[in-house]
Amino acid sequence: MKDRWAAVRPPGCSPGLANPCCGRSGRGWHRIAEFGFDGRRYRQEEDYFLLRVESVEVSLAGLDTIELETVVGYRWWEAAGLESAGEAFFPAELPRLLRELTS
């Protein structure tokens, strides 16, 4: 089984993950993010957990209109792939955090 990294929210509140709570390790990371979106400022608290899963079903069915307009794709990353991806993702320090959680 490979390590997969995902943001986990309570069931029914996590668009995209049909089975978000299987295998949660309990180890994770917490951050407070402040950002601008659509002309407004936001402050949100985020909790991240390392999940060990064999497969995850992704569904966009629970997204609202704004979320659907901003999702351009999704994929699961191997830890090494994050460091060499050359793509923007958030949080930017995710490769380091994933290394710490899996070491």
Distance CA 95, CA 93 (A): 6
pLDDT exceeds cutoff 60 at 1: no
Cβ atoms of 28 and 34 within 8 Å: the answer is no
Residue 67: closest CA among 16, 23, 2: 16
78 φ, ψ to 5°? -75, 155
pLDDT exceeds cutoff 50 at 77: yes
**pTM (two decimals):** 0.58
In this predicted model, what pLDDT tens digit does every residue of 17-76 receive, in sequence order?
555 554 445 567 888 999 999 899 999 998 887 777 777 788 888 888 988 998 888 887
